[in-house]
Amino acid sequence: MAMLGRRDDGQAASQRPNRTEALDAHTILGQEARFQGKLGFEGAVRIDGHFEGEISTNDVLLIGPTAQVRAELKVGSIVIHGFVEGNITAKESVEIKAPARVRGNIASPNLTIERGVRFDGSCQMSGDNGASKPAPKQARPPQAD
C-alpha cells in the first residue's frame, strides 16, 4: 500500500484535478495486489488490483482501469474506470467512465455514465438511496353519521 498526501502547488481551484482523480487517493491498492474481505476507510482510496468482499465508506472510492472488484459497495461517492460486479449504494454520486464494465444494481441520487461503458443492472435514483418510504396516507372522506 502506498500512502499519498495532498499537494498544494498554488493552482487555482478550477485548475486542480477533480477530487476523484488519483492524486487525491490517500491509499492505493496496487495492480498486483489481491484482497479478500471487508474494507472500511476514511478519505479517498483507489483500487487498481483485485478485491472481493464488502467495501463500506462515507468517502470516495476510485476503481482504476485495471481493477477487478466483486463486492457489495456502500460508499459516499464512487468513480469506476475498471470492472465492478456487485450492488452499489452511494450517498452522493456514482460516475462510470469508459471503458468501465459494471454488473449489478445501483442506488444513488446522482449517476453519470459515459459513452462506451457497459452497465448490466438496474438503477434507483431516489434521494433515499433505495430505502423504502411508507406510502403516503390517503385522505378519507368524512363518514356520514
Cβ atoms < 10 Å from Cβ of 92: 15
Q: What is the pLDDT of residues 67-91, one digit of tens each?
A: 999 999 999 999 999 999 999 999 9
C-alpha cell at 131: 430505502
DSSP 8-state symbol, 9: -
Give the distance from CA 59 to its chain's centroid: 9
pTM given for the model = 0.72
Residues with pLDDT less than 50, the chain: 1-20, 23, 129-139
- Per the CB < 8 A criterion, the answer to whether 93 and 129 are in contact is no
C-alpha cell at 4: 499519498
Q: What percent of the chain has pLDDT over 70?
A: 70
- Per the CB < 8 A criterion, the answer to whether 99 and 82 are in contact is no
- Per the CB < 8 A criterion, the answer to whether 45 and 62 are in contact is yes
**Residue ranges of the domains in the chain?**
19-124
40: part of which helix (H) or strand (E)?
Answer: strand 34-40
Instruction: Pick the closest to residue 20 from 44, 54, 43 (CA basis).
Output: 44
